[in-house]
Structure 1
Amino acid sequence: MEILTMYGRGAYQGIAEGEALVCRESIQGWAGVSDTTGEIIEKGHAEEGKNINGKILVLPCSKGSNGWSCHFHSAMISGFKPAGWIFSKMDSRAGVATVVIGSPAVTDIVSADPCDVIETGDWIKINGFEGIVEVYKREK
């Protein structure tokens, strides 16, 4: 199994691991994630119908209004939250969501854009203390 180690900046402390859910286009806040099921419901989104629960969400950034984090928070209250986050670039909406959810996050990967290197289904370990991402490439 190929293992790729990437280095960035720890944006929220903690260690998490899980299956990657890569969204090359971010998820919109309003009508993007179901508050009651944790499913991506944004119409036409490439990952529409997939669930965020227990996944390492790999996103370029947030998308939409300042209420972006509220929908992830509501989903968390219903029992659905990502295990961790990897952002190409951290913006204020993503930062708030990370803190509100309390899942580890890494951003500003120096070697490559994580949305280009990581694939949905890869197993990911993130270290939000040190900004390290280990990618265990899935077998094809």
Structure 2
Amino acid sequence: MALSDRRSLAGESLLPGGAAGRLLVLTAPLSFWGGVQPKSGRIVMAGHPQHGREIGGRLLALPGTVGSSSSSSVMLELLREGRAPAGLLLASVDAILLLGVVVARELGYPPIPALRLEAAALAALPDGAAARIEEGRLVLG
């Protein structure tokens, strides 16, 4: 899956919806439990290449997650605090992380979409570029 001339990329919609924001393309897997500060949305995972960056309001491109079954509760806290990403772009499905979004939706917090993209396509995304998720696609620009 490569970007077409229209600068869009088809993916697998994991959670429906649309979102727009700047891409934050992580270059290493992230642990949400202990790796993201829920009150600020800042990456605090020691040694992470994007340490100190804020995920709030971004389209967060994750090459993977470092597992903890608590990542769903951190995502729920991020949504409650208004510090969550605008949308998730995942190289592989992380049901635990997505569960936090589903629970947040049930509690009345604004939902965010999630889209699965092939790992190579995700890694090639331009960090900081304006993008949007719409109808199972990532559109740049």
Distance 1:3 1:31 in 2: 39
CA contact (8 A) 2:20 2:131 kept: yes
- What is the count of residue pairs matched by the alignment? 131
2:9 paired residue number: 6
CA distances 1:52-106 after superposition (whole Å, capped 9, x unpaired): 1100000123222111121122122222111001111112223213424520111
The alignment's TM-score, normalised by the length of structure 1, stands at 0.83
Please state if 1:46 is matched with 2:49.
yes
CA contact (8 A) 2:16 2:114 kept: yes
Where structure 2 has 5 or more consecutive residues not aligned to the other structure, the ranges are: 105-110
Q: 1:133 aligns with which of 120, 135, 138?
A: 138
Distance 1:97 1:25 in 2: 21
Shift of 1:3: 5.0
Distance 1:44 1:103 in 2: 28
CA contact (8 A) 1:33 1:75 kept: no
Distance 1:115 1:133 in 2: 10
Distance 1:68 1:81 in 2: 12
Where structure 1 has 5 or more consecutive residues not aligned to the other structure, the ranges are: none
| C-alpha RMSD over aligned residues | 1.9
Residues 1:50 and 1:23: Cα distance change in structure 2 (over 3 Å): same
CA contact (8 A) 1:33 1:72 kept: no
Residues 1:135 and 1:107: Cα distance change in structure 2 (over 3 Å): same
CA contact (8 A) 2:19 2:87 kept: yes
CA contact (8 A) 1:17 1:125 kept: yes
2:75 paired residue number: 72
Q: Which runs of 4+ in 1 moved over 6 A?
A: none
| 1:9-48 matches, cutoff 5 A | 9-48=12-51
Distance 1:114 1:97 in 2: 25
Residues 1:118 and 1:19: Cα distance change in structure 2 (over 3 Å): same
Between 1:98-107 and 1:36-45, the stretch displaced more is: 98-107
